[in-house]
Amino acid sequence: MNELELLNDTEEIMPENIITKEQFVKFVENSVKFEELMMMYRCAIREVQTKLEILNDEFKTKRQRNPIDSIRSRIKSPLSIYEKLKRRNHPISIQSIADNLNDVAGIRVVCPFISDIYDVARMLISQDDVEVMEVKDYIKNPKPNGYRSLHYVVIIPIFLSSGKEYMKVEVQIRTIAMNFWASLEHQMHYKQFDNDDMPEIVKQLTECAENIYHTDVRMQEIREDIHKFNE
């Protein structure tokens, strides 16, 4: 049984007249099915987070260094869920959340060095219960504003009393430096201005992202030099 079949079993019918975000938020607050779906996403996050922590431990033991600096996770809020469904013209229903959204469960992994990002990604996706649904490499192909990060949508099984369920989790992997830029840029509300409206601001932010990336590359080179020196 997959996550959608489980929902179909006893799907609470969301009233047709749910159109405003207030109505949606009120509905989901009292919906057992919505809570069940969110519980499943929370479990999926724990599964992936544990995998990452185990990899970090093992790497530390073998190479005396952590490839992961920090891991943060979040479940998308009902309001953000509503807004994304609306923005993408998807139906507003519980079924539609599971069908159409890939980032209800989100994990952000922050690594010291660029090479750590690819090491962590490789170690995670090579596990045989992790299926890759989507990859976006915004490090090789940065966004026009300079945003860099490696994004995956993975599908992983969780084990409930009713059986196995497959859940989608968005994993963003970036360096401390990329995270520094993205956090500040996010605070400045990256979705609230249009690239065409404020070209000068976008240009300045992009310049900062380029400088930060250059530093990331330099730091990695320095580490490699130290390695050679110690050999």
Q: Which residues are catalytic?
A: 170
Whether the CB-CB separation of 109 and 139 falls below 8 Å is answered with no
Query: Measured from the CB of residue 126, what is the shortest distance to ligand GTP in angstroms?
Result: 22
Q: Which two tokens stand for residue 138?
A: 């915004």
Q: Which spans of this chain sit near Mg ion (rule: CB under 5 A)?
A: 103
Quick note: the x/- pattern for ligand GTP over 119-148, rule CB under 6 A, is: -----------------x------x-x-x-
Residue nearest to Mg ion (CB): 103
In the region spanning residues 152 to 191, those forming contacts with ligand GTP, defined by CB under 6 A, are 172, 182, 185-186, 190
Q: How many residues at the interface with ligand GTP, by CB under 6 A?
A: 11
* Contact assessment for residue 6 and residue 32, using Cβ atoms and an 8 Å cutoff: no
Residue 92 to residue 56: CA distance in whole angstroms: 39
Owner of token pair 């490090």: 139
Q: Yes or no: say if 85 and 101 are a contact pair by the CB < 8 Å rule.
A: yes
Give whichever of 139 and 182 is closer to ligand GTP, judged by the CB atom.
182
Residue 69's binding partner, choosing from Mg ion, ligand GTP, none, with beta-carbon cut-off 5 to 8 A by kind? none
**3-state class (DSSP) for residue 183:** helix
Q: What angle do CA 197, 205, 174 make, to 5 degrees?
A: 125
- Reading the block at residue 102, the tokens are 């890939």
- Residue 160 pairs in a beta bridge with 163
Give the shortest CB-192-to-Mg ion separation in angstroms.
15
Nearest-approach distance from CB 15 to ligand GTP, in angstroms: 26
In the complex, minimum distance from the CB of residue 151 to ligand GTP, in angstroms, rounded to a whole number: 5
Pick the closer one to ligand GTP by CB: 31 or 145.
Answer: 145
Closest to Mg ion by CB, 55 vs 107, is 107
CA distance 219 to 196: 34
Determine how β-strand 131-137 pairs with β-strand 163-175.
unpaired
Cβ atoms of 165 and 157 within 8 Å: the answer is yes
Instruction: At 96, give phi and psi (nearest 5°).
Output: -65, -30
Residue 41 site contact among Mg ion, ligand GTP, none (CB < 5 to 8 Å, cut-off depends on kind): none
Q: Measured from the CB atom, is 47 or 103 closer to Mg ion?
A: 103
Q: Which is nearer to ligand GTP, 6 or 150 (CB)?
A: 150
Residues of the shown chain interacting with ligand GTP in the complex, contacts defined by CB under 6 A? 103, 136, 143, 145, 147, 151, 172, 182, 185-186, 190
